[in-house]
């Protein structure tokens, strides 16, 4: 087996994890990828696979990825292609990883032209979400992960949204009990959707993109870095709520309540031009003929996909959001 990690996750949890695996009698090698998005490059993945060859690991070996979404995406991708595919285990160490990135079998690399433009579907044999890993996260990383759990609540499970809202202060500081509840409910929510549409062919899985159309455009415009992914998704969800109220029949009190909550989540100040965000929307991976596709809500927990949102509405929704964070 090869245990793959990155320097920060390794320093915190690597030696213990390695010792636990070795205690069970396995021969375990280790490999460290660069930290953060730098893991999601051809160079880093090729470095991992060449190291595996050097260590004499063959088709019968298993990979275990210990780290945030960048490690599980990149190492999962290496597992998908190494000797045409070997089994892998996902051991996500961030909240983002435990509620979203580490589960569902999407693995990916970034290309200079954009994020996640190469990848494969390769389901992990098992995902181990140990919430003890989460105590060391910074408040910002925690909030970024909570954003994906809020997304599940808004789009599929209003009771989860209520739970997050009622326990927000405890969740922000990483209280173990509520954190464990959110991880297990949000992870189960994602798995339920993925099980219905593993390879994103029937449309069900696309609904997990609630908040991501505008979110991705903001990340791309800000130039990946100033905004954590979850922070961009918070803003994207606010835009999607605004559009849902006008174009999908989301009742005003539900929209106002959800937006009121999202509006309290701290987001860094940014100065982005509306026109740049609108052109990023047209270039989105999922846009068809320059028309972005949106997941909107007919009600809380009732998502739908549409490509028929008038551009002037998008301009107003994005414009007022950018005004707020300027
Ligand atoms: N495959 C999917 O379905 C999917 C879904 C969502 C996001 N993603 C991808 O996930 C990536 C983002 O994941 P992420 O937010 O976990 O980022 P990340 O892996 O870069 O981790 C964020 C930071 O936290 C540090 N870290 C990791 N574990 C820690 C711990 N326990 N305590 C303290 N610090 C820790 C890391 O060193 C890093 O600096 C993006 O590349 C995104 O595209 C994939
Ligand atoms: Zn996301």
Please report the atom of ligand 1 found closest to the CA of residue 138. Answer: 33
CB 207 within 8 A of CB 193: yes
Q: What's the CA gap between 46 and 31, in Å, rounded?
A: 12
By the 8 A CB rule, do 149 and 164 touch?
yes
Average pLDDT over residues 127-145: 97
In this predicted structure, what is the pLDDT of residue 287? Answer: 78
With a 6 A CB cut-off, is 96 part of the ligand 1 pocket?
yes
Q: How far is the CA of 60 from the centre of ligand 2 (A)?
A: 32
For a ligand 1 pocket test, name from 118, 130, 141 the mutation site with the most ligand atoms within 8 angstroms of its C-beta.
141
End-to-end CA distance of the chain: 48
pLDDT at 285 over 90: no
Distance CA 179, CA 99 (A): 11
Residue 70 CA, closest ligand 1 atom number:
19
The reply to whether ligand 1 has any atom less than 6 angstroms from the CB of 141 is yes
Instruction: Find out whether the beta carbon of 116 lies less than 6 Å from any atom of ligand 1.
Output: yes
Question: In this structure, which ligand is nearest to the CA of 139?
Answer: 1
Q: What is the mean pLDDT of the chain?
A: 96
Measured distance CA(66)–CA(30) in Å, rounded: 10
Instruction: Please give the pLDDT value at position 115.
Output: 87
pLDDT, mean of residues 259-279: 95
**pTM attached to this predicted model:** 0.96
Looking at residue 284, its pLDDT comes to 81
Answer whether residue 1 shows pLDDT above 80: yes
Distance 233 CA to ligand 2 centre (A): 7
């Amino acid at each position: 087996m090869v245990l793959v990690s990155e320097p920060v996750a390794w320093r915190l949890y690597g030696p213990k994890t390695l010792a636990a695996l070795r205690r069970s009698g396995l021969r375990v090698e280790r490999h460290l990828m660069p930290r953060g998005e730098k893991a999601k490059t051809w160079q880093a993945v090729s470095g991992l696979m060449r190291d595996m060859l050097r260590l004499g690991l063959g088709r019968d070996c298993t990979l275990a990825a210990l780290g945030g979404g960048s490690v599980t995406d990149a190492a999962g991708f290496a597992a998908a292609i190494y000797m045409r595919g070997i089994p892998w285990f996902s051991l996500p160490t961030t909240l983002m990883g435990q509620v979203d990135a580490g589960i569902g079998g999407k693995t990916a690399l970034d290309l200079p032209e954009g994020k996640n433009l190469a990848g494969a579907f390769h389901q992990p044999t098992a995902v181990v979400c140990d919430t003890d890993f989460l105590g060391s996260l910074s408040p910002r990383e925690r909030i970024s992960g909570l954003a994906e759990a809020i997304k599940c609540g808004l789009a599929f499970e209003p009771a989860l949204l209520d739970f997050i809202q009622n326990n927000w202060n405890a969740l922000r500081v990483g209280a173990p009990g509520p954190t464990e509840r959110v991880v297990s409910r949000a992870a189960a929510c994602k798995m339920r959707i993925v099980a219905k549409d593993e390879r994103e062919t029937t449309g069900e899985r696309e609904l997990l993109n609630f908040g991501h159309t505008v979110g991705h455009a903001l990340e791309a415009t800000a130039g990946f870095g100033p905004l954590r992914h979850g922070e961009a998704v918070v803003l994207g969800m606010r835009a999607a709520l605004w559009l849902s109220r006008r174009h999908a029949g989301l009742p005003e009190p539900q929209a106002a309540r959800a937006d009121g909550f999202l509006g309290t989540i701290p987001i860094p100040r940014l100065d982005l031009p509306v026109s740049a965000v609108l052109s990023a929307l047209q270039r989105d991976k999922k846009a068809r003929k320059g028309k972005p596709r949106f997941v909107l809500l007919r009600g809380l927990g009732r998502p739908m996909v549409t490509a028929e949102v008038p551009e002037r509405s998008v301009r107003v929704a994005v414009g007022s959001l950018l005004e707020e964070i300027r």
